[in-house]
Amino acid sequence: MNVSAAESLRTALGELLDGLPPRQATQAVDRLIANYRGATPTDAPILRDRADVAAYAAYRMPATFEAVRSALEAFADAVPEWTPASHVDVGGGTGAATWAVSATWEGPRPVTVLDWAEPALALGREIAAAHPALDGARWQRARIGASLTLDPTDLVTVSYVLNELAAPDRAALVDAAAAAAQAVVIVEPGTPDGYARLIEARDRLIAAGFRVAAPCPHSAACPIVPGADWCHFSARVSRSSLHRQVKGGSLPYEDEKFSYVAAARFPVSPAPARVVRRPQIRKGQVLLDLCEPEERLTRTTVTKKHGELYKAARDADWGDVWPPVP
């Protein structure tokens, strides 16, 4: 992992917050939360002005950055020889995914961020100036809809966007990404609805000829029974002072739950199996819930008798490849 992207982002967001009166920032976050709880999709941008966007960036960007970075790391493990030579972030807003891509694969590379909210693009451009790999990025206005076409690129990211779109626009976005890119990574909130939108997108990517690289160990149907459960993961995020201001509480971190799919047109080496829940550590044994090839969900018990594997199981985390790669 390239730590400098994460650190530069944190510094840039900290400076942004320094320039915002605390009351104004808290009010803008409250308004955004209310908007996001309301009836989306909307037919006009939610991020309307600089206060909205600064609040969004300071409040949400660290979490979306960590979620996308986790998804990209799992993807990078499945395509170890590959580095994207170009990147388009659709519905990119203030550009969290561009920072995550540059934290995963050192840049620079041509980067384009597309969004319909001009204030988000403007602020994204401003904070990206702090990061050499991103200061040449293009920030362009574009509306996601039936007429969306994307220029050919190695990687398209779509993070926390599908939930703002009506079904026809979600389909148009995934189809445009599949037509333009060698690899597509989509991240959504780790909720039952977020997972349902991801499965819809995953099916479209597979129908367009893509293979799933992560998190699934296969490109067959997801074995989860719709409505019974949902596939999601967790990324730890340090809380900013704005977080503590808005949410209260004293924990220095929170866990961002997300669902994702990473797929490519080229050959991929998916995990042999993936840990799909937090491992349960009992006396002398670890219970691992695994998603395995052939559309199987299983629970494996690893005990002291398994020696090195037991040690590995004690270190295993939700979302990890199993068994661990040496």
Ligand X SMILES: C[S@@+](CC[C@H](N)C(=O)[O-])C[C@H]1O[C@@H](n2cnc3c(N)ncnc32)[C@H](O)[C@@H]1O
DSSP lists the bridge partners of residue 158 as: 186
Cα–Cα distance for residue pair 242/88, rounded to 1 Å? 29
13 counts as binding ligand X under rule CB under 6 A: no
Q: Binding mask 163-182 vs ligand X (x if CB under 6 A, - otherwise)?
A: -xx---x-------------
* Amino acid found at 48: R
Nearer to ligand X by C-beta: 55 or 271?
55
Q: Which of 16, 29, 74, 144 binds ligand X (CB under 6 A)?
A: 144
Decide if residue 153 touches ligand X (CB under 6 A).
no
Mark out the alpha helices in the chain (DSSP H runs): 3-18, 22-37, 50-78, 96-104, 118-128, 167-180, 192-207, 241-247, 308-315
Q: Would you count residue 143 as binding ligand X (CB under 6 A)?
A: yes
* DSSP string of 50-114, one letter each residue: HHHHHHHHHHHHHHHHHHHHHHHHHHHHHSTT---S-EEEET-TTTHHHHHHHHHS-----EEEE
C-alpha to C-alpha distance for 243 and 239, rounded to whole angstroms: 6
Comparing CB distances to ligand X, the nearer of 185 and 268 is 185
Separation of alpha carbons 325 and 274, rounded Å:
12
Distance CA 49, CA 120 (A): 8
- Number of Cβ atoms within 10 Å of the Cβ of 306: 15
For ligand X, which residue of 159, 182, 240, 259 counts as binding (CB under 6 A)? 159
Smallest distance, ligand X to C-beta of residue 122, A: 12
Determine if 149 is a binding residue for ligand X (CB under 6 A).
no
Cα angle, residue 201 at apex, residues 176 and 173 outer, rounded to 5°: 25
Which one of residues 61, 213, 286, 288 is an interface residue with ligand X (CB under 6 A)? Answer: 61
* 64 vs 182, beta carbon nearer ligand X: 64
* By the rule CB under 6 A, 71 interacts with ligand X: no
Stretch that binds ligand X, among 2-10, 22-30, 155-163, 301-309 (CB under 6 A): 155-163
- Stretch touching ligand X by CB under 6 A, among 112-120, 199-207, 265-273, 309-317: 112-120
- In whole angstroms, how close is the CB of 160 to ligand X at the nearest point? 4
Q: Which is nearer to ligand X, 76 or 165 (CB)?
A: 165
CB closer to ligand X, 120 vs 176:
120
Residue identified by tokens 């939360």 is: 33
**Which residues of the chain form contacts with ligand X (CB under 6 A)?**
45, 47, 61, 64, 91-93, 96-97, 115-117, 120, 143-144, 159-161, 164-165, 169
